[in-house]
Amino acid sequence: MISEHLAILESLPPAERRRKMKSFNDKERDELLTHWQLWARPQQLPPPGDWRIWLIMAGRGFGKTRAGAEWVRAVAKADPDARIALVGATLPEVRAVMVEGESGLLSVGPEPQRPRFEPSLRRVSWPNGAQATIYSALEPETLRGPQHSHAWCDEVAKWDNASARATRAWDNLLLGLRLGESPRALATTTPRAVPLVQRLMAEPAEDIVITRGSTEDNRDNLPARFVNDIRRSFGRSLLGRQELDGELIADIEGALWTRALLESCRGDAAPELTRVVVAVDPPASASGDACGIVVAGLAADGTAHILADASVEKASPERWARAVANAAQVWNADRVVAEANQGGAMVGSVLRAAQLSLPLKLVHAIRGKVARAEPVAALYEAGRVRHAGTFPALEDELCGLVAGGAYQGPGRSPDRADALVWALTELMLGKASEPRVRVA
């Protein structure tokens, strides 16, 4: 009976399938709802052919995790002798996303066929005898020795590449992928131009199949507000094209900042700060470039944290001055640093008109934007700067600053990036960079 229902449902569009399901009894519905080939999009199903690696490189919300879990489920169901490696950026992430997540292994498939997870053994076991072991890419040596028939590697672009950990973890995994007649690996990831992803992209065509996709591909299964909100936030920025559209954005040769460097500096929330500054790169005219406004803070341990990009586009002097004053008030800034090359004393007058008590410091640039940015980029390389969130437009500009060359990022001028440079120069490279206790 189930096979007959499947034949009927497979011939119907998705909306009609759901309506038809209402005519089945509870048991039939439960079984049909877990029949992955019936509900998956073609991009989420294993490609045909004798491939060794399947790389799903797609935007956020595409359904990569569900595709990975369902592939592992199918492997385990077909082969009781399967020995599967589950590798993620960290062990907690493997457990929270790949195993116990909403689209993880414990949530897919009919209830009686679902596996059992033994955290102390890092083992997932299916009723028929198939097993999976979880690993962290932070510990490449744990993959040296164990043998596997299959592997699912999640968010490989996020794996920590300090001391080449990411590539060593991948190499050790492949060397142990030697059980069974046709060992295979699935890698699911949001695209980032990191060494491991670039290496996968260069694999011989006969060895790898690459599936691409965007957030919008899975629109029917995502809250409409989520899709609209993130598209409004990221737009067609380079970061949006990467995180939503699934494009692999190549780094510009010689750029002071790379995507991988910025991702390695990503954090969630800043710690308690000893000093906060708002830096301003004023526009030359109201109809020209943006007014760069960046908020940054210094922590007691000497690390700097980028807190906000409050930049405004095509603003009158009154409007961008008010935006600066608002940012200073919201973040309880100790100092407002403003470049005065464009407009000189007028910049100070405009800002003080917005708020008389603004703790203002005017600075004058004697070197070009790229030259000023180089020592700040070195702070990132040294791990002394963190981003408390994601700042698409700002980060696109940072990645367009090229050592010894012209600016190659979006827009005519890196105004946001220049404001960031002034902020970090004030906090970490100037005379006032020593931490002190702030009075709230």
Q: How far apart are CA 70 and CA 43, in angstroms?
A: 13
Q: Which two tokens stand for residue 349?
A: 């007058």
pLDDT at residue 434, as a whole number: 45
The domains of the chain are located at 1-33, 42-221, 259-429
- What is the third-level CATH fold of 259-429? Nucleotidyltransferase; domain 5 (3.30.420)
| CATH class of the domain comprising 42-221 | alpha beta
Length of the chain in terms of residues written: 440
- Residue 440, pLDDT score: 47
CA 230, 267, 324, 338 torsion-angle sign: negative
Question: Angle at Cα 149 formed by Cα 145 and Cα 150, nearest 5°?
Answer: 105
- Which amino acid, residue 155? E
> What does the block give as tokens for 272?
């308690």
Q: Is 163 left (phi over 0), alpha (psi -120 to 50) or beta?
A: left
Q: Per-residue DSSP letters for 277-304?
A: EEEEE--SSTTSS-BEEEEEEEETTS-E
pLDDT value at residue 287:
62
How far apart, in whole angstroms, are the C-alpha atoms of residue 173 and residue 153?
10
pLDDT for the residue numbered 352: 74
All residues at 6 or more sequence positions from 222 whose CB lies less than 8 Å from its CB, including other chains = 61, 215
Element (H, E) at 3: helix 2-10
Q: Which amino acid is at 354?
A: A
d(CA 123, CA 115): 10
8 Å CB contact between 108 and 66: yes
Q: What is the pLDDT along the chain (440 residues), one digit of tens a residue?
A: 555 655 566 666 766 766 766 666 666 666 666 778 877 899 999 999 999 999 999 998 999 999 999 999 999 999 999 999 999 999 999 999 999 999 999 999 888 889 999 999 999 999 999 999 999 999 999 999 999 999 999 999 989 877 789 999 999 999 999 999 999 999 999 988 788 998 999 999 889 999 999 998 888 888 888 888 888 877 767 778 888 888 887 788 899 999 889 988 988 788 999 999 999 998 876 666 789 999 999 999 999 999 999 999 988 888 888 999 999 999 999 999 988 866 555 677 778 776 767 888 888 888 888 999 999 999 999 999 999 988 989 999 999 999 988 888 888 889 999 999 999 999 999 754 444 445 44
Angle, CA 87 vertex, CA 81 and CA 92 arms, to 5°:
120
SS3 2: helix
Condensed to tens digits (0 to 9), the pLDDT of residues 313-369 reads 988 888 888 999 999 999 999 999 988 866 555 677 778 776 767 888 888 888 888
CA distances for 25 relative to 5, 19, 21, 107, 193, angstroms? 12, 13, 9, 22, 49
Residue whose token pair is 């799903």: 56
- Cβ-proximal residues to 127 (8 Å cutoff; 6+ apart), any chain: 112, 113, 115
Residues whose CB falls within 8 Å of the CB of residue 429, separated by 6 or more in sequence, listed in order: 375, 376, 379
- The pLDDT value recorded for residue 37 is 80
Give the predicted TM-score (pTM) of the model.
0.66
Q: What is the pLDDT of residue 219?
A: 85
Number of Cβ within 10 Å of residue 318's Cβ equals 12
Q: What is the pLDDT of residue 342?
A: 63
Strand ranges (E), 292-398: 292-299, 304-309, 335-339, 360-363, 385-388
What pLDDT is attached to residue 231? 83
| DSSP character at residue 113 | G
d(CA 230, CA 369): 31
